[in-house]
Amino acid sequence: MRNFFRSTAFKILLAAVVVLLACVIAAAAFSGGTSVLTSAVSTVLSPLERACTYIADKVGDAAGGFVSAGAYRDRVEELENQIAEYQGMLVDYEELQRRVESYENFLGVKEENPDFQFVAGTLIGRDAADVFGSFTLSCGETDGVSVGDPVISGEYLIGIVSEVAPTTCVVLSICDPKVSAAAYEIRTGETGYTETTSALAAEGLVKLTGLSQSTTVAPGGIVCTSGVGGVFPRNLIIGTVTQVYQEEGDVSYCAEIRPGVDIGEVQDAFVITDFEGKGDA
C-alpha cells in the first residue's frame, strides 16, 4: 500500500483530482459573476493602488509647486528690474535737485553782480594725492575758462583755476598754500591776505594775516574777498572767523577762518571767466 502512494500512477491521479477541483471552484466562481482570483488579487492590490494614487496626487502637487516657483522667480526678476529703474530715477532726481539748488545760488550771485560772466562745471575728479583738495571740473578752454579764473560754489569762493584743457580744468582749493586772496572782515573792515599752512589745510582752515595788535576782528566774523589785485572780484565769501591770535615770532595778528564750503563735498561749481576790474593791479 505504501508503495502505491509513492508510485507514478498515484501522483498522476492526485494531479487529476487537483485539476478537477480547480475546475469546479472556477466554475462556481464564474457562475457567481466574480473570479476568486480576481477578488484575491483585488484584495491584495487594493492598498497598493491607494498608495499609488496618493503618491501620484503628491507628485502632481509638487509639479504644481515647481511651476509656481518658476512664476515667483519671474515676478522677483520683474520687481528687481523695477527697483533698479526707480533707483535710477531717484539718482536723476537727486542730481537734478542738487543742480537746481546750485543754480538758484548762482542766480542770486548773478543778480547781485551783473558784470560777472560764468561757466558751469561738474566735478569729474579729485587728486587723491593732493592733501589740499584740488579737483577737476567738466569745463575748459572751449568754454572760455582760463588759468587764474576764480571758482565759486554759490556765493562762496572755493578756489582758482590752475590748469586748463579743451574741455576740463584743474582747480586749486582755497586751502592750497599756492592760493592767496586779498580779503577783509565785513564788520570791522580790516583787510589782509588769506594764506594757509599744511597743518591748517589738514583741518580745512585758512587764515587772514596782517591784522594789527589792536584788531577788533572776533570769532563769528565773516571774511570776504576785497577785490584788490584784480584776481578775485569783491565780496565773494571766504568763510567765518573761528579764532584770532598773534602770529608766532611776529607782532601782527591773524584770524583763523573756516571756509564756508567743505571742498570735499563740492559737486558743482561755477568759474567766473570775467568780471568788472579783472586784471586791474
Domains along the chain? Answer: 117-274 (2.40.10.340)
The rounded distance, in Å, linking the Cα atoms of 93 and 85 is 12
Q: What count of residues does the chain have?
A: 281
Degrees, nearest 5: CA angle 173-176-181: 80
CB 191 within 8 A of CB 226: yes
Under-50 pLDDT residues of the chain: 33, 41
Quote the pLDDT of residue 96.
Answer: 62
Q: Is residue 225 within 8 Å of 182, Cβ to Cβ?
A: yes
Distance from first CA to last CA of the chain, Å, rounded?
Answer: 153
Contact by Cβ (8 Å): 273, 118: yes
The pTM (predicted TM-score) of the whole model is 0.63
Predicted local confidence at residue 21, as pLDDT: 59
Q: Which pLDDT tens digit goes with each residue over 188-237?
A: 999 999 999 888 888 889 999 989 889 999 999 999 999 999 999 999 99
